[in-house]
A and B are shown apart, each in its own frame.
Chain A
Amino acid sequence: MPLEIGAPAPAFTLPDTDGAPTPLTNGDGAAATVVVFTCNHCPYALAWHDRLQAVARDYAPRGVRTLQINPNDAERYPRDAPEAMKARADAGEFAGPYLHDDTQEVARAWGAAVTPDVYVLDAAGHVAYHGAPDADHGDESLDARWLREALDEVLAGRRVSEPETRPVGCSIKWRA
């Protein structure tokens, strides 16, 4: 089950593509935090990828931190291996840390189901939005509107008008 709106998000520390431990702890100073469960080979994740990076870049100056997490089983799906993640990160494809959830414990704790699966946390680390970036992976003009609207409302100190949408994407590749 996904985290409920208003629930405190579980803290975690995961390695980025250089192996540096990257923590998420509640109330650690970010005005808002975007957490995206994503991966290297899902067509939905790839279709929405540039829109999500644009959000990360556009909102970073307003104190929004974006953490992207790959939870897929890299043994059965080598395209999601740490080396492949690092290659993409080194090529500048990510506007923020790209983290590896090797044990899949974080994805399970957060109730992530597909890639991409998007969460927005408020400054206190409570879930303010969960769902898809926007209504259509195939329509770039939508520009991750649902995510942007959620961030705008969180940054304005308001409750998110549409806090839940249906995440759409490939199922997370769980270990057997």
Chain B
Amino acid sequence: MGPVPDVELLYWEGCPSCDEALADLRAALRELGHAELPIAVNEIVSDEQAAERGFIGSPTVRVDGVDPIAPPPGEPTGLTCRVYRRRDGRYSPTPDPADLREGLARLLARSTQEA
């Protein structure tokens, strides 16, 4: 058995979507057959830390440090909520579940291959 992919949920305390994002992340991992993977839930507490971690808003998911929902280039970092778009174009504080699932599947497959 290879190394376990590092799945992380980054959030900021002013974001009301963290619980929903965590539930969506757990559901997506379960659907992909990875319900056993641990999720590290980490708070971003300062602008400096946001810049250091490339944190463009809460919530943000990372797999081995890579965002499954690639943000547009040049997004500013900071302690803020993140704006996502659902597949039908609506604004949303959390990723479209289908986009999240697809992004996770891609990154988890890569993580497994690299292991």
B-binding residues in A (CB < 8 A): 41-44, 46-47, 49, 76-79, 114, 137-138, 140, 168-171, 173
Residues from chain B with a CB closer than 8 A to the CB of A140 are 90
Stretch at the interface among B27-35, B78-86, B106-114: B78-86
Within 8 A of A (CB), among B8-28: 14-17
Asked whether A46 and B16 contact (CB < 8 A) given A41-B80, A77-B80, A173-B80, the answer is no
Measured between C-beta atoms, what is the minimum distance from B94 to chain A in Å? 8
Report how many residues on chain B are interfacial, defined by Cβ distance under 8 Å. Answer: 16
Residues from chain B with a CB closer than 8 A to the CB of A114 are 16
A43 to B83, CA, bound (A): 5
Measured between C-beta atoms, what is the minimum distance from B81 to chain A in Å? 4
A-binding residues in B (CB < 8 A): 14-17, 47, 76, 78, 80-84, 90-93
Q: Is the CB of B83 within 8 A of A41?
A: yes
Measured between C-beta atoms, what is the minimum distance from A156 to chain B in Å? 32
Contact pick for B93, options A49, A137, A171, A173, CB 8 Å: A137
Residues from chain A with a CB closer than 8 A to the CB of B90 are 47, 138, 140
Q: Is the CB of A170 within 8 A of B81?
A: yes
Contact pick for A43, options B76, B78, B81, CB 8 Å: B81
Asked whether A46 and B47 contact (CB < 8 A) given A76-B78, A170-B14, the answer is no
Q: Is the CB of A43 within 8 A of B16?
A: no
Residues from chain A with a CB closer than 8 A to the CB of B80 are 41, 77, 170, 173
Q: Is the CB of B14 within 8 A of A43?
A: no
Residues from chain B with a CB closer than 8 A to the CB of A171 are 14
The 9 A-B pairs of least Cβ separation, nearest first, read: A171-B14, A46-B91, A43-B93, A170-B81, A43-B83, A47-B91, A43-B91, A43-B81, A42-B81
Residues from chain A with a CB closer than 8 A to the CB of B47 are 76
